[in-house]
Amino acid sequence: MASVVAKKEEEKKRESHKQSLLKEKKRLTINNVARKWDLQQRVANIATNPDRKDSDSPSQDPCQSDGSTISAFPEETGSLDSGLNNALLGLSVTDTYLVEVDGDTLSLYGSGALESLDRNWSVQTAGMVTTVSFTFIEFDEIVQVLPKLKMKFPNSLHLKFKETNLIMLQQFNALAQLRRIDQLTIDPQGNPVVNFTLWKYYVLFRLSHFSMQKINGTEVTQNDMIMAERLFGILAHVASSELPQYRMISILGDARKKQFRYLLETKGKKPGIVSEENNDNKRLVGENTNRATLNYTTREFYHEKLEEIKEKKKFCKMYIEDLVKEATEINMKNEALQKLWPQMFIELVRDAVIEIRNKNSYMKLCLQQITDQK
């Protein structure tokens, strides 16, 4: 019995030690992810505000990777930019992301963690996850994996964002492609959008089809929904009215395309006697259609589109220039011909008259040419 008890105690100690190691590794990884995120943000700030890099650069980085504070910008480096780049290169060889499933919560730290959505998750684990937390990840990168999130974790109802660079209201438009959201938590840290007074109302308006229950832990009331509609209803109407019909249809889903075509077909017809319920349905269809026009394009995709447009413009410009050049040359040749043609015609007639003036000589010459050809 003493031996059994001793073995159990030893197993408990090993398990406890293992858990301690895992917790420490998790802490170090999160600190490393936070450190890399902080360096990336500083590099981005320096790129956009080069004049402020000297005044905004602290001598040390507050994040810890091995239990002690490490200088992110050593004094020996010749410039701040090289110090940041060297620090980023040093971090690239260590753990820079973390994926953790704790109960019903999937936590993703660092942009590399988004690749985990490509894994073959078990049905039990995927069905168990109802909360997904994103930390130290650019929101534009998150937008690209939202379709995967919808497919891999169909029961996810609560999204959390911390240090994701949510900076404008338009970014919330991207969340409309998900299947359902009951709760949304936006941490003020690293998400300046929460400093906007009306950001919650915009979320409720744009994502009204989700019938959201809580935002940042606060219950959503009917008055909140009414206020959101009053504040931003006109915005969706203006946005949809400025788009041509083909653009409207292209951004709508299959179900909404039918509804939109129905609206176009009934537009202009004489109003008949319709029930109040049909009026409500038409009003709701219109609101959903209008909201769908409020979408979000990531910066990367936007820049790709700009490059594509530039290439098309360049090609069109070169093509038009070639056409103009060819048309100009043809016109110049035509003008030259018009100037020379009268004299050329006179010379042709004169040569022909001289040539056939002596009929016998001309006939002999023609016979000789025929003989030479044979």
150 and 209 inside one domain: yes
pTM score, whole prediction = 0.62
313 and 200 inside one domain: no
At 61-105, the pLDDT tens digits run 444 433 333 333 333 334 445 555 555 454 444 577 888 898 899
Residue 37's CATH number: 3.80.10.10
**Cα–Cα distances in Å, from 171 out to 1, 174, 230?**
64, 6, 21
Alpha-helix residue ranges (DSSP H) falling in the chain: 2-48, 80-91, 123-128, 139-152, 199-206, 222-241, 245-251, 254-266, 276-292, 299-355, 359-373
Q: Are 158 and 131 in contact (CB under 8 A)?
A: yes
Residue 161's SS3 state is strand
Residue 57 lies in a domain: no
Residue 128 lies in a domain: yes
Q: Pick from 112, 111, 110, 161: which is nearest to 132 by CA?
A: 161
256 and 309 inside one domain: no
260 and 324 inside one domain: no
pLDDT at 73: 34
At 146-163, the pLDDT tens digits run 989 989 999 999 999 999
pLDDT at 227: 94
241 and 108 inside one domain: yes
Residue 11 lies in a domain: no
pLDDT at 209: 87
pLDDT at 198: 93
247 and 157 inside one domain: yes
Residue 68 lies in a domain: no
The parent domain of residue 333 ranges over: 299-373
Amino acid symbol at 1 = M
- Give me the sheet containing 131-135, strands edge to edge: 98-102, 105-109, 131-135, 158-162, 183-186, 214-215, 218-219
Pairing of strands 218-219, 214-215: antiparallel
Residue 235 lies in a domain: yes
Q: Choose one of 275, 291, 307: the last residue of a domain.
A: 291
pLDDT at 268: 54
Pairing of strands 214-215, 183-186: parallel
226 and 364 inside one domain: no
pLDDT at 266: 59
pLDDT at 233: 86
Pairing of strands 105-109, 131-135: parallel
Q: Choose one of 291, 325, 358: the last residue of a domain.
A: 291
Residues whose CB falls within 8 Å of the CB of residue 184, separated by 6 or more in sequence, listed in order = 158, 159, 175, 203, 207, 212, 214, 215, 216
List the chain pLDDT tens, one digit each, 374 residues: 888 888 888 888 877 877 787 788 888 888 888 888 988 888 877 876 666 544 444 444 444 433 333 333 333 334 445 555 555 454 444 577 888 898 899 999 998 899 888 888 888 888 999 999 999 999 999 999 998 998 999 999 999 999 999 999 999 999 988 888 999 999 999 999 999 999 999 999 999 888 899 999 999 999 999 999 999 988 877 877 777 666 666 666 554 555 555 566 655 555 444 444 444 444 344 335 667 777 787 766 667 777 888 888 888 989 999 999 999 999 999 999 899 999 989 988 988 888 888 888 888 888 888 888 87
pLDDT at 258: 53
Residue 102 lies in a domain: yes
173 and 221 inside one domain: yes
Residue 50 lies in a domain: no
Radius of gyration of the chain (CA): 36
35 and 170 inside one domain: yes
pLDDT at 260: 58
> What's the farthest any 2 CA atoms get from each other in the chain?
143
pLDDT at 335: 92
- Number of domains composing the chain: 2
Residue 253 lies in a domain: yes
The β-bridge partners of 99 are: 108
Q: Choose one of 256, 291, 326: the last residue of a domain.
A: 291
321 and 242 inside one domain: no
140 and 221 inside one domain: yes
119 and 242 inside one domain: yes
